[in-house]
Amino acid sequence: MNDEENTGERPSKSQRKRDVHALQDLGTELVELNADQLAKFDLPERLVEAITEAQRISNFEGRRRQMQFIGKLMREIEPAPIRARLDIIQGVAHESTVTQHLIERWRNRLLAEEDALTLFAAEYPQSDLQRLRSLIASVKKDQANARPPKRYRDLFRALRDIIDAPVTPDPES
């Protein structure tokens, strides 16, 4: 046989198994989504029902068998658009986590270091420094008096609003 004849052959059994496992893994990622995220996918109703059922199953063997069933249902649809949307969702989630960690680091620095507010203001010139000073003082006072962390959360929200705000170019530059 020459190479042209080989291209018409079916994939090997090992390749088919790898493909089936990849579809099952894709199904596992779908099972990990919440209902709102899952609704954004254009999936057949039978697959959505199987995914919802898998989310309810806690028994290991029952869940494993349900995941195999989801993998079987996944063979009937095109996986590329699903993979693309999952990559977008996971990218957004990762970006959101990175931003949240940045905000938490700034909050901790502002509470621990005296010159941190000056550094923050240099990096985020659109900051309302008076409000931040007031929140920082309130948080320190609450921590000293062992009060609930309401103002601590308020400081986080204020920093989030500043850090997430779109940067507008200075008209004088």
Taking only the tens place, the pLDDT of each residue in 113-153 is 989 999 999 999 988 999 999 999 999 999 889 888 899 99
> Which residue range is the domain that position 155 belongs to?
93-164
In the Cβ-directed half-sphere of 140, how many Cα atoms lie within 13 Å?
A: 13
Q: How confident is the model at residue 8 (pLDDT cuts 50, 70, 90)?
A: low
Asked whether residue 138 is domain-assigned, the answer is yes
61 shares its domain with 103? no
Residue 168: predicted pLDDT? 54
Comparing 91 with 5, the larger pLDDT belongs to 91
pLDDT for position 120 = 92
Both 152 and 111 in a single domain? yes
CATH code at position 156: 1.10.60.30
- Considering the domain architecture, whether residues 97 and 71 belong to the same structural domain is answered as no
DSSP 54-79: HHH--SHHHHHHHHHHHHHHHTTS-H
**93, 99 in Cβ contact below 8 A?**
no
Predicted TM-score of the model (pTM) = 0.50
Least confident window among 1-5, 36-40, 50-54, 153-157 = 1-5
Distance CA 65, CA 62 (A): 5
Residue 58 lies in a domain: yes
**What confidence category does residue 4 fall into, taking pLDDT thresholds of 50, 70 and 90?**
very low
Same domain for 109 and 62, yes or no, is no
Cβ–Cβ < 8 Å for 151, 125: no
Please give the structure tokens belonging to residue 68. 């195999």
Q: Residue 3: pLDDT above 50?
A: no
Helix, strand, coil percent values for the chain (each to nearest 5): 75, 0, 25
Chain segment 46-91, per-residue pLDDT in tens: 999 999 999 999 999 999 999 999 999 999 988 888 888 888 887 7
Number of domains comprising the chain: 2
